[in-house]
Structure formats: structure tokens, C-alpha cells
Amino acid sequence: MSQTVLPDSYEGIHERARALLQSGDIEGSIALYRRLTDRLNNLSDRILDRRPQLRDLHREARLMLANLLASEGRYAEAMEVERVLLKTHPAEADTWRRELAVLRIAKGEVEAGLTELRTLAEAAPDDPERWLVLGLENRLAGRLVDSQAALDQALEVCREDDADSLASVHFQRFLLYRELKQVDNALAEWEEAVAHAPEAGTTVREVYTMLTDAGRYEEALRYVARDQNPLQAGFQRGLVASLTGKMREARQDWRAVANLDPSEFEYGHDAWVEAVLRLGDPDPALEWLQESLPRYGTARLLVLSGIGWAMRKDPEVAAALFQQAISLLRRRRPPKQKLDRADWQLLDSLVTDEDTKNPLKTYFAVVESLWG
């Protein structure tokens, strides 16, 4: 904290809240942001007119608090926090109403939230972002026809010189077509997104994963070659090799990934961990995860860590990690109550001890048959 900022001043509380968040203390950060927003909300207009930076700080702190609460699945609380902005910052009322509608959907009030989003879009029909949000939320709600209609409208009203909006719309259309299993249309939309915003190319993993799942391995490898992250690209080359019966090549690719230092990369850590696990010895991955999970604690890394512990025949630790992953996935949009079947298949292929893996099956979306 800056030496010129008093710890209990508005700015001091803000700095402390951010420091706690960076250290992983979400509850502590929420408590401080609550304290800060409560104090700022009690200031008179006269004080705020004299110190307008406090009005901006109130806006920033309240948005941060709402985002933290939403990330913890506490949507009703997030709505209460953000609703105050309708009064304190009325010039941005449409933005707050849109965000409140999204929180309503996340809270489970899907119909009411989507109706509000449609009302906002129809009130400003030339604003592509409003149609984009409506299309996104309909897709997450499983209403794919409505999603496509909204995204079609978003594309129609985009200006030709608005590269950012065009990239966002095309990327959302890629996600929609991928969900509809229209692979060629999805590819075309992704290429359009990258043409308007080259930085969208960092999402290429989603493209070659889609192609791999569709069994279009040669095409998948062409997109793998466009991935500048060697952890992700190397792992996927190994996966495609394994799926096409080239296990020696697969192990070579995974070994090359395992020899890299994952901490030197901003993303792709899950690809490194899975490559290590698929080589059969979980210890290097578990050693890295022990240090890195607090920093990179994604649901995917938790699942892979659980699989690693199952490989070491410790189902209790594995179960705890799977439960942590499910807790995170329940707060996603759309929420999940079980881990993916593909993750079970990975565990099943790497863990041979039946007494270890059978009790863990309950955490996965696996359909049981009469034969187990």
C-alpha cells in the first residue's frame, strides 16, 4: 500500500480489498468492498460534487463487489449491490438494467431476464451490443433458435468499420454453430472473427478441439499449427496421434510438452498437466499443482489433479478435488452438476485399480448400464 494512503481511508480500503483478492481471500475482499460501498453510499451530493473522484470510486467498488458476489454464485446479493447504481449513476441506467437482467437469468429467473434483455434491445435496435448480449444469454439458456435470431440482428446492425463489434458477433456465432454441430458454419464464423480482430486467434484451441471431436483430424492439425502456445499445440498433436493409432508419436509429443516449464506460460497449464498424466507418472504434475493450484485453480485443473491422485490410489483426495471442481462448475453459465463423461473416460484409461475408481464414478456424468 502506498505510504501516502491511510489504511482506513476510502482509497486505503480499496487497496486493501484488491490486495486480498489478489492473495485469493475472496471473502475478505468482499467484506472490505461492502464496507467501502456502504461508506461511499452515505456521502452527500455536496461532498461528492467537491470530490468527484469518490463518485468514480463508488462505481468501481460497487461493480467489483457485484462481480465477486456473482462469481461466488450469490446472484441475489449481486443484484442488490448493482441496483444502487441506478440511483447513483443514472446516466448509465441502460447498462445497469442489462447487467441486472443477466444476473436475474443466472439466478434462475430466465424468462424475466430474457424479456428484459429483449426490451432493451428493441429500445435501441441499432445497438449491436444489446442484440449480442441477448443472443449470448439465449444460447446459454439453451434457446438456440432465439440466439441465432438475435445474433443475426446484431450482425445486421453492425457498422462495417466497427471491427470490435463484428469480431464479437462472429465469435458468438461460432460458439452457437459449434453447439448446433454445424462445424463448417462454425469455422467460417471463427475465421471472420479473426479477420476483424487478429487477437481472437488465441481461441484457436476451441476450433481444433471441435474438429478433433468431429473426427476431422487433418483439419484439426492445420489449426493446431496456428496455436502459438506450445503446451496446447503439443498436447493436441499427441491426442490426435493417439486417436489415429499412432501411440509412439503421441507419447513423443506429450513428452516434449512435459519437458517444458508450464510456469513460463500464461495459459495452457491444463494441457501440460494432462500430457504428464497421459505419460503414466502423475508425480511431476501433482508436484507442480501443489504449488500452482492456489494461483491457477480452474475447474479443469482441479479435475486433472483429482485424476492424478486417483492414479496414486488415493480416492479420498481425488473425491475432494472433484467436489471442488463441481462447486466451481455449478456457478458457471450454464451450470453443471457433474463432471464431463470425457473426464471419466480419461480417468478410466489411466486408473486400473477398480477399488479406487469405482467410488469416484458418482462425480461424473456417466450413464450406467446393466453391465456397469
Residues 6+ apart with CB under 8 A from 263: 288, 292
Residue 341 sits in the same domain as residue 267: no
Rounded to whole angstroms, the Cα distance separating 372 from 361 reads 10
Total of domains in the chain = 3
Output the domain CATH number for residue 73: 1.25.40
Read off the pLDDT of residues 283-328 as tens digits, 9 standing for 90 and up.
Answer: 999 999 999 988 887 999 999 999 999 999 999 999 999 999 999 9
Residue 209 belongs to some domain of the structure: no
pLDDT of residue 23: 84
Boundary-marking domain end, from 273, 296, 326 = 273
| Residue 175 lies inside a defined structural domain of this protein | no
User: Does the residue 268 lie in any domain?
Assistant: yes
Q: Which of 32, 64, 88 is the last residue of a domain?
A: 88
CA gap 319, 276 in Å, rounded: 20
In this structure, the answer to whether residues 266 and 300 fall within a common structural domain is: no
Residues 286 and 369 in one domain: yes
Helices (H), 108-180: 110-123, 128-140, 144-157, 163-179
Q: Are 257 and 235 in contact (CB under 8 A)?
A: yes
Contacts within 8 Å (CB) and 24+ apart, 72-77: 72/26, 72/30, 72/331, 73/330, 73/331, 75/103, 75/104, 75/106, 75/107, 76/107
Q: What is the pLDDT of residue 29?
A: 96
d(CA 250, CA 260): 16
Return the minimum-mean-pLDDT range out of 20-29, 110-119, 222-231: 20-29
Residues 356 and 292 in one domain: yes
Together in a domain, 16 and 45: yes
| Per-residue pLDDT tens digits for 30-51 | 999 999 999 999 999 999 999 9
**Same-domain check for residues 285 and 238:** no
Same domain for 286 and 365 = yes
**Do residues 307 and 368 both lie within one domain?**
yes
List Cβ neighbours of 231 (8 Å cut-off, separation of 6 or more).
257, 260, 262, 265, 268, 269, 271, 272, 275
In a domain, 16, yes or no: yes
Name the grid cell of 208: 481444433
Residues 291 and 333 reside in one and the same domain = yes
**Residue 37 to residues 40, 58, 89, 237: CA-CA distances in angstroms?**
5, 6, 14, 50
Q: Which domain holds residue 264?
A: 229-273
Residue pair 363/323 in contact by the 8 Å Cβ criterion: yes
Q: How confident is the model at residue 335 (pLDDT cuts 50, 70, 90)?
A: confident
In this structure, the answer to whether residues 256 and 319 fall within a common structural domain is no
Q: Is residue 203 part of a domain?
A: no
Say if residue 256 is in the same domain as residue 331: no
Distance CA 8, CA 353 (A): 56
**Phi then psi dihedrals of residue 184, to 5 deg:** -65, -40
Give a yes or no: residue 346 inside a domain. yes
259 DSSP 8-state letter: T
Distance CA 99, CA 117 (A): 9
Residues 55 and 71 in one domain: yes
Max alpha carbon distance in the chain (Å)?
A: 74
Domain boundary among 57, 88, 119: 88
For residue 174, pLDDT beyond 60: yes
Inside any domain, residue 138 = no
The answer to whether the Cα torsion of 276, 233, 266, 339 is positive or negative is negative
pLDDT over 70, % of the chain? 97
Residue 316 has what pLDDT? 97
Does residue 341 fall inside a structural domain? yes
